[in-house]
Amino acid sequence: MNITSVYVARLPEPGPLTFETYDLREEATPELDDREILIRVIYLSVDAGSRGMLDDRGAYVLKLKPGMQAIGTGAVGEVVESRHPDFPIGSFAATIFARWGSHMKAAPDDPASPVFAVDPQVAPLDAHLGALGLTGFTAYTGIFLNLPLAAGETAVISAAAGAVGAVAGQYAKIRGARVIGIAGGSDKCEYVRSLGFDDCIDYRSDLEAGLRRACPDGIDFYFENVGGDIQRLVLSMMRRYGRMSFCGQIAQYAGEGEPPGPNLMRVVLQELTLKGFLCMPTYTEKFGQFRAETMAWLKEGRVRHDSSVIYGLENAHEAVNALSAGRNVGKQLIQVAVDPTAQ
């Protein structure tokens, strides 16, 4: 049997990826060592970083070069070969990091690349890459672990209709905050409100007036995903002792350069705390706690998971472009094979 793997063929120019960015290669099925498994991938995670990793001038945490296999934050699929007693053939498994391809060899006992068994009766397979995967863990870290957020405070979340932002806002509601999302377009804002956010501002048509209307007394807590104009405005509206939890800066991942920095005098005058985070490896030991709590909240309907799917490894570049252009709602995925558990 052959497998298909996705390699970086060439680094893109600034802006959208093209079909030439990736190269699909047929390869021999890898041999398994003791306690390893082979997963037939059903869904692959596409992340804001999928574009950032292809910008060799940018500041993203990881960089890919031509000839390297493309990677993402997770794959979920069916175990088709197994030398591990806890992962029998026919069961389902999810990973936190994944090399893009039709199959993935995994070593569940290796703490550096965690793999967990998933039960499709408990949550749909795709949720293990979204609310229950590294995406959800990023939101959990930014709301519960990085900086304090108190009940009754006003929290603002940017990229609120995206995978991390949508879950972050729902966590902020669980915390008891008043939560305002920022997203691109009225349909997306409607979606964000349907998740339980108190309001959502369309940054394409109504950023400054909308945010001032929604936060008349200012902002206590900001979950920062994008940077640029949104960041500058939010900073100017922060209340005394406010906190800014820095998750990412997606506005600068597409190779188009860094937007001008904000005036930080407000940090002094309002005595603000700004703190960035990398959910892994810094908070890895909290991953089990995050999964258990979020699983319970999903069952109770307090957290909802949604995903946007693009079919086929040959369309990987389109999946990355969809996310950069904001065409995704919730978690962006590549569907690689039929999901036998989907209704």
Ligand X SMILES: NC(=O)c1ccc[n+]([C@@H]2O[C@H](COP(=O)([O-])OP(=O)(O)OC[C@H]3O[C@@H](n4cnc5c(N)ncnc54)[C@H](OP(=O)(O)O)[C@@H]3O)[C@@H](O)[C@H]2O)c1
Q: Which of 289, 295, 293 is nearest to 121 (CA)?
A: 295
Report the site for ligand X in 150-189 (rule: CB under 6 A): 159, 161-165, 183-184, 188
Selected binder of ligand X within 21, 95, 138, 321 (CB under 6 A): 138
Q: How far apart are CA 101 and CA 26, in angstroms?
A: 10
Q: Which of 122, 112, 118, 144 is nearest to 133 (CA)?
A: 118
Q: How far apart are CA 99 and CA 75, in angstroms?
A: 8
Q: How far is the CB of 191 from ligand X (least distance, A)?
A: 10
- 170 strand-pairing partners: none
Respond yes or no on whether the N-terminal peptide bond of residue 281 is cis (omega within 30° of 0): yes
| β-pair type (154-157, 219-224) | parallel
Continuous H helices in the chain? 48-52, 134-140, 163-174, 186-194, 207-214, 228-236, 265-269, 279-282, 287-300, 316-324
Q: How far is the CB of 332 from ligand X (least distance, A)?
A: 6
CB nearer ligand X, residue 82 or residue 141: 141
Is 226 among the residues that bind ligand X (CB under 6 A)? yes
CB nearer ligand X, residue 39 or residue 247: 247
Cα 341 to its chain centre, rounded Å, is 23
**What is the per-residue binding string for ligand X in 230-249, x denoting contact by CB under 6 A?**
-----------------xx-
Stretch that binds ligand X, among 13-21, 89-97, 222-230, 234-242 (CB under 6 A): 222-230
Report the site for ligand X in 274-313 (rule: CB under 6 A): 277-279
CB nearer ligand X, residue 108 or residue 165: 165
Report the site for ligand X in 67-106 (rule: CB under 6 A): none
Is 147 among the residues that bind ligand X (CB under 6 A)? no
Q: How far is the CB of 183 from ligand X (least distance, A)?
A: 4
Q: Which of 189, 196, 154, 142 is nearest to 304 (CA)?
A: 196
CB nearer ligand X, residue 102 or residue 332: 332
**What is the per-residue binding string for ligand X in 36-55, x denoting contact by CB under 6 A?**
-----------xxx------
Instruction: Write out the DSSP string of 170-184.
Output: HHHHHTT-EEEEEES
Binding site for ligand X (CB under 6 A): 47-49, 135, 138, 159, 161-165, 183-184, 188, 225-226, 228, 247-248, 250-251, 277-279, 323-324, 326, 328, 332
